[in-house]
Amino acid sequence: MFTGIVSDVGEITKLTPGGNQGDRRFVVRTRHDMAPVPIGASIACSGCCLTVIEKGADWFAVEASGETLDKTHLGDWQQGQRINLELSLKLGDELGGHLVYGHIDGVGRIASMTPEGGSVRFVFEAPGDVARFIASKGSIAVDGISLTVNEVEGNRFGVNIISHTQAVTTLGTAKVGQRVNLEVDMLARYVQRLLEHRP
């Protein structure tokens, strides 16, 4: 489990085929001290929960299945690409964002970016089956970043990204049209489930 507060922006240094056909192995350079991070630990990589299978002092390796590559934008990743990283939540850690599970619900795209004072207003477009769970003033994880939704219009939703968030995440170098991993607030899914089964 994660909080959506990005703790590092890592860099993909190597991509190779995974152990099974269709899988892919990524080696990621990080500023995190990997010494206390055990093999088998979970790390959110641009919002997708992946398992550490190998590591060094300043790097780790993860493997993504063919299904994960299809249902996220991990299949687009290239050597040299920067990705948002967050180590898994431990008991007693501050919950600075919202509860994020690392299970991607769909892939959206950046529809527009408009400077507004010291921040940038991002408008994202979500798939229809994901958009129905997005609500104004609710939470959403975009590439693993916990964000508050400002407004929703159809399949699009807007957020304001402050300069600090731009500086410490990949949104600082994002471009219009770029694909992003989306994870809706789990509470929204539970509410929808309850409504579907009302007597």
Task: Determine what percent of the chain falls in helix, strand and coil, rounding each to the nearest 5.
Answer: 15, 40, 40
Structural domain total, the chain: 2
User: Same domain, yes or no, for 114 and 58?
Assistant: no
Residues 118 and 188 in one domain: yes
Examine the pLDDT at 159 and tell me if it is beyond 90.
yes
Instruction: Specify the 3-state DSSP secondary structure of 44.
Output: strand
Which residue segment(s) compose the domain that 16 sits in? 8-87
Do 12 and 75 belong to one domain? yes
15 and 49 share one domain: yes
Residue 101 falls within a domain, yes or no? no
Enter the DSSP assignment of 198. Answer: -
3-state DSSP assignment of residue 170: helix
Structural domain ending residue among the three candidates 26, 59, 87: 87
Residue 79 placed within a domain:
yes
Average pLDDT over residues 21-46: 96
Same domain for 39 and 115: no
- Kindly indicate the confidence band of residue 155, based on its pLDDT and cuts at 50, 70 and 90: very high
* 117 and 191 fall within a common domain: yes
- In this predicted structure, what is the pLDDT of residue 118? 87
Predicted pLDDT of residue 195: 67
Whole-number pLDDT of residue 33? 95
In this model, does residue 93 exceed pLDDT 80? no
Average pLDDT over the chain reads: 93
Q: Pick from 30, 57, 87: which residue ends a domain?
A: 87
- Residue 140 forms beta bridges with which residues? 147, 184
Strand partners, 125: 109, 156
Number of H helices, E strands in the chain: 4, 13
Integer Cα distance of 45 and 74 in angstroms:
9
Domain presence at residue 92: no
Q: Do residue 59 and residue 110 come from a single domain?
A: no
**Residue 193 banded pLDDT, cuts 50, 70, 90:** low
pLDDT for 19 beyond 90: no
Largest CA distance in the chain: 56
When pLDDT is averaged across residues 92-114 and rounded to a whole number, the result is 88
Quote the pLDDT of residue 60: 98
Output the pLDDT for position 96.
67
Question: Domain for residue 186, yes or no?
Answer: yes
pLDDT of residue 97 exceeding 80, the answer is no
Rounded Cα gap, residues 102 and 116, in angstroms: 30
Residues 63, 67, 69: CA angle, nearest 5 degrees: 60
Q: What count of residues does the chain have? A: 199
Same domain, 71 and 117: no
pLDDT digits (tens, 9 = 90+) for 47-67: 999 999 999 999 999 999 999
Name the token pair of 42. Answer: 């979970």
Euclidean distance between CA atoms 35 and 38, whole angstroms = 8
Q: Could you say which of 39, 54, 87 is where a domain stops? A: 87
- Average the pLDDT over 130-137 and give the result: 92
Q: What CATH number corresponds to the domain at position 59?
A: 2.40.30.20
**Beta strands at 156-161 and 106-116: parallel, antiparallel or unpaired:** unpaired
Tell me if 98 is assigned to some domain.
no
